[in-house]
């Protein structure tokens, strides 16, 4: 690693070719004049197949992913994605179905969607589910638009405030603002719960609802959740459940039964469909009978033995083209059916056990944010005794040298030097012990050789990035001149902000 290889564009030479097309066996047709480009094409690399294959394979090897190591990124639930899901999603009947195919010819796909709606509803205690939203954040927007539609329908036009705890994920206030409502922050009490007095002082006739993550982003189950929900409902507001932390309570708590009116599920977190990489996620929403008419559609309904698409009567409309990210539905459905009710409960029990194991083994050197049994993730502080000047960022970077993806850091914003660690149920005890050993060794280094932390990472393809410069001067695609200008007089080719492909 850390060796300089020219980016793929620099391998390019005129006339190199990576494909062999067959002889043309139909008459050549000229393109219409108006479709022809009028300038010379510039910049597409000309390469051999092996160069292209090596380029992409090399990039893939630089990627840290759940298939290469533990990924204890708090709040993100980076658990292993069982490979059977991929086989199911690749079944030709699922993989090659066309979104415009006639309902009659898509009964299998509709049955699966209906089944997933039912299962998600059952697990969470909601009577209705829409699979439309493409991610948790979109589920949030959907939910708040549903809340607004519900209030407006009742002539309740003054409800323009959404209450959001100060520990909330940034998508919560962003959602409320995007929906055109006003965000009102609610404080956290000393035990990490919603501060009831602060809540009471902020509820009123302008309250549209409260967005609550439970367990919350401090990894704690709100001890007063039912009281919170009673207060919000008394004020005429609705309870939004951010279901990103559902992995802690599967088969144990049904959010629909403890006062939530609507909740999103992150299939890519709790239900092991792959995360990110720019790829599709899925953030279905479940809700009560009262809110169901407003759900985005189409949803799948069962009419006798037939499955049909249905637009709820007062729907807020579509939030996604066609039906949502269908391939993710196949994976999540497979996961739930493979595990069954008992298996899902065990998922949460082990996820919580693993997080508490880390908490107990690390809290003597990394102070806990809240001294309580945690749920599926634990929030520690990167404040090591006798190591002034070492910050959470340094610890996170050093973890990379030990082969671990760093946990979530500096979130929640209310905890100074936060490290939010979520091991998930799919890490073995051996891996947890290796992580604990790395964290303990890093604390020792912090006291004895702090420069090791400040210089970290030293064993990654890129060294520590200048984050301010990266934000101010992002270079998101390969431009030779820009990269050269950035390197400037620095000879070290690794010292760039965003590496061009292949470097
Ligand atoms: C991940 C997350 C979200 C957003 O979900 P996406 O699927 O990433 O859009 C919202 N809230 C919390 C607490 C989360 O962890």
- Selection from 9, 6, 4, 5 nearest residue 479 by Cα: 9
Residue 186 backbone phi and psi in degrees, to 5: -115, 140
Which atom in ligand 1 lies closest to the alpha carbon of residue 283? Answer: 7
pLDDT for position 118:
98
Which atom in ligand 1 lies closest to the alpha carbon of residue 140? Answer: 10
The tokens of 286 are what? 């479940």
Residue nearest to atom 3 of ligand 1 (CA): 136
Asked whether the predicted pLDDT for residue 497 surpasses 70, the reply is no
Residue nearest to atom 15 of ligand 1 (CA): 75
Q: Is the CB of 264 within 6 Å of ligand 1?
A: no
Secondary structure element (H or E) that encloses residue 455, with its range: helix 450-455
Q: Is the CB of 380 within 6 Å of ligand 1?
A: no
pLDDT for position 420:
98
Distance from Cα 140 to the centre of ligand 1, integer Å: 9
Q: Is the CB of 266 within 6 Å of ligand 1?
A: yes
More confident residue, 41 or 333: 333
Q: What is the mean pLDDT of residues 433-461?
A: 96
Which atom in ligand 1 lies closest to the alpha carbon of residue 139? Answer: 9
- The pLDDT tens digits for 168-211 are 999 999 999 999 999 999 999 999 999 999 999 999 999 999 99
Tell me how crowded residue 114 is: count the other CB atoms within 10 A of its CB. 19
Distance (Å, whole) CA 86 – CA 233: 42
pLDDT for position 498:
41
Strand 161-165 relative to strand 207-213, pairing: parallel
Residue nearest to atom 2 of ligand 1 (CA): 244
In the block, which residue shows the tokens 């599920």? Answer: 265
Secondary structure element (H or E) that encloses residue 409, with its range: strand 408-409
Helix residue ranges, H only, 154-294: 171-178, 196-202, 225-234
Q: What is the mean pLDDT of residues 19-40?
A: 90
Residue 120 backbone phi and psi in degrees, to 5: -65, -40
Distance from Cα 48 to the centre of ligand 1, integer Å: 41
Distance from Cα 136 to the centre of ligand 1, integer Å: 5
Asked whether the predicted pLDDT for residue 316 surpasses 90, the reply is yes
Q: Is the CB of 213 within 6 Å of ligand 1?
A: yes
Tell me which of 122-131, 466-475, 492-501 is least confident: 492-501
Which atom in ligand 1 lies closest to the alpha carbon of residue 268? Answer: 7
Q: How confident is the model at residue 502 (pLDDT cuts 50, 70, 90)?
A: very low
- The pLDDT tens digits for 392-412 are 999 999 999 999 999 999 999
Residue 306 backbone phi and psi in degrees, to 5: -105, 150
Distance from Cα 169 to the centre of ligand 1, integer Å: 7
Q: Is the CB of 315 within 6 Å of ligand 1?
A: no
Q: Is the CB of 74 within 6 Å of ligand 1?
A: no
Q: How confident is the model at residue 489 (pLDDT cuts 50, 70, 90)?
A: very low
Q: How confident is the model at residue 491 (pLDDT cuts 50, 70, 90)?
A: very low
- Selection from 332, 329, 187 nearest residue 246 by Cα: 332
Q: How confident is the model at residue 45 (pLDDT cuts 50, 70, 90)?
A: confident
Q: How confident is the model at residue 495 (pLDDT cuts 50, 70, 90)?
A: very low
Distance from Cα 234 to the centre of ligand 1, integer Å: 28
Q: What is the mean pLDDT of residues 423-437?
A: 97
Residue nearest to atom 14 of ligand 1 (CA): 244
The tokens of 245 are what? 């932390």
Q: Is the CB of 217 within 6 Å of ligand 1?
A: yes
Claim: this prediction has a pTM higher than 0.85: yes
Q: Is the CB of 117 within 6 Å of ligand 1?
A: no
In a 13 Å sphere around the CA of 193, the CA atoms on its Cβ side amount to 15
Q: How confident is the model at residue 280 (pLDDT cuts 50, 70, 90)?
A: confident
Distance (Å, whole) CA 334 – CA 112: 10
| N-to-C CA span, the chain | 10
Distance from Cα 268 to the centre of ligand 1, integer Å: 10
Q: Which of 75, 165, 325 to mutate to test the pocket of ligand 1 (most atoms within 8 A of CB)?
A: 75
CA 290 to chain CA mean position, Å: 29
pLDDT for position 122:
98
Q: Is the CB of 171 within 6 Å of ligand 1?
A: yes
pLDDT above 90 covers a percentage of the chain that reads: 79
In the block, which residue shows the tokens 């898509």? Answer: 106
Q: Which of 73, 74, 79, 242 to mutate to test the pocket of ligand 1 (most atoms within 8 A of CB)?
A: 242
Q: Is the CB of 283 within 6 Å of ligand 1?
A: yes
Please answer whether residues 223 and 253 qualify as being in contact, where contact means their C-beta atoms are separated by less than 8 angstroms. Answer: no
Distance from Cα 12 to the centre of ligand 1, integer Å: 41
Distance from Cα 137 to the centre of ligand 1, integer Å: 6
Distance from Cα 50 to the centre of ligand 1, integer Å: 39
- Selection from 314, 231, 221, 274 nearest residue 78 by Cα: 274
Which atom in ligand 1 lies closest to the alpha carbon of residue 138? Answer: 9
pLDDT for position 465:
83
Distance from Cα 54 to the centre of ligand 1, integer Å: 34
Q: What is the mean pLDDT of residues 124-152?
A: 97
Distance (Å, whole) CA 184 – CA 201: 11
Distance (Å, whole) CA 259 – CA 490: 59
Residue nearest to atom 6 of ligand 1 (CA): 136
Residue nearest to atom 5 of ligand 1 (CA): 136
Q: How confident is the model at residue 480 (pLDDT cuts 50, 70, 90)?
A: low
What are the structural domains, with CATH classification, of the chain?
A: 1-62+468-503 (no CATH), 85-339 (3.40.640.10), 348-455 (3.90.1150.10)
- The pLDDT tens digits for 217-261 are 999 999 999 999 999 999 999 999 999 999 999 999 999 999 999
Instruction: Classify residue 297 by its DSSP letter.
Output: S
């Amino acid at each position: 690693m850390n060796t300089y290889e020219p980016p793929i564009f620099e391998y390019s030479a005129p006339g190199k070719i990576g494909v062999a097309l067959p002889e043309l066996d139909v008459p050549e047709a000229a393109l219409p004049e108006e479709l022809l480009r009028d300038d010379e094409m510039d910049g597409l690399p000309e390469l051999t197949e092996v160069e292209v294959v090596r380029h992409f394979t090399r990039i893939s090897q630089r990627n840290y992913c759940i298939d290469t190591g533990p990924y204890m990124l708090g709040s993100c639930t980076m658990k292993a994605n069982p490979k059977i899901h991929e086989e199911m999603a690749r079944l030709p009947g699922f993989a090659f179905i066309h979104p415009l195919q006639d309902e009659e010819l898509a009964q299998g796909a509709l049955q699966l969607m209906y089944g997933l709606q039912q299962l998600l509803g059952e697990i969470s205690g909601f009577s209705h589910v829409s699979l439309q939203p493409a991610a948790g954040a979109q589920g949030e927007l959907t939910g708040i638009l549903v809340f607004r539609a519900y209030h407006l329908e009742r002539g309740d036009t003054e409800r323009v405030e959404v209450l959001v705890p100060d520990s909330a994920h940034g998508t919560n206030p962003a959602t409320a603002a995007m929906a055109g409502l006003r965000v009102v922050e609610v404080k956290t009490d000393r035990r990490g719960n919603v501060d009831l007095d602060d809540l009471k002082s902020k509820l009123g006739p302008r309250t549209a609802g409260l967005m609550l993550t439970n367990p919350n982003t401090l990894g704690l189950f709100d001890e007063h959740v039912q009281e919170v929900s009673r207060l919000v409902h008394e004020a005429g507001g609705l309870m939004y459940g951010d279901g990103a932390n559902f992995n802690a309570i599967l088969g144990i708590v049904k959010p629909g039964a403890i006062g939530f009116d609507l909740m999103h599920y992150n299939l890519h977190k709790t239900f092991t469909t792959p995360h990110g990489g720019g790829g599709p996620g899925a953030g279905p929403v479940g809700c009560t009978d009262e809110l169901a008419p407003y759900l985005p559609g189409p949803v799948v309904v069962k009419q006798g033995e037939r499955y049909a698409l249905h637009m709820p009567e007062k729907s807020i409309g579509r939030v996604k083209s066609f039906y949502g990210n269908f391939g993710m539905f196949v994976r999540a459905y497979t996961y739930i059916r493979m595990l069954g009710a008992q298996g899902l409960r065990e998922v949460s029990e082990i996820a919580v056990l693993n997080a508490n194991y880390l908490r107990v083994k690390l809290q003597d050197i990394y102070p806990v944010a809240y001294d309580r049994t945690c749920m599926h993730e634990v929030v520690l502080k990167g404040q090591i005794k006798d190591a002034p000047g070492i910050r959470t960022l340094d610890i996170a970077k050093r973890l990379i040298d030990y082969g671990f993806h760093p946990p979530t850091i500096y979130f929640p914003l209310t905890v100074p030097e936060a490290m939010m660690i979520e091991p998930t149920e799919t890490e073995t005890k051996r891996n947890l012990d290796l992580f604990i050993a790395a964290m303990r060794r890093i604390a020792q280094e912090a006291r004895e050789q702090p420069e090791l932390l400040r210089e970290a990472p030293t064993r990654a393809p890129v060294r520590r990035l200048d984050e301010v410069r990266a934000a101010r001067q992002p270079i998101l695609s390969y431009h030779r001149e820009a990269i050269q200008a950035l390197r400037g007089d620095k000879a070290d080719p690794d010292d760039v902000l965003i590496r061009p492909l292949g470097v």
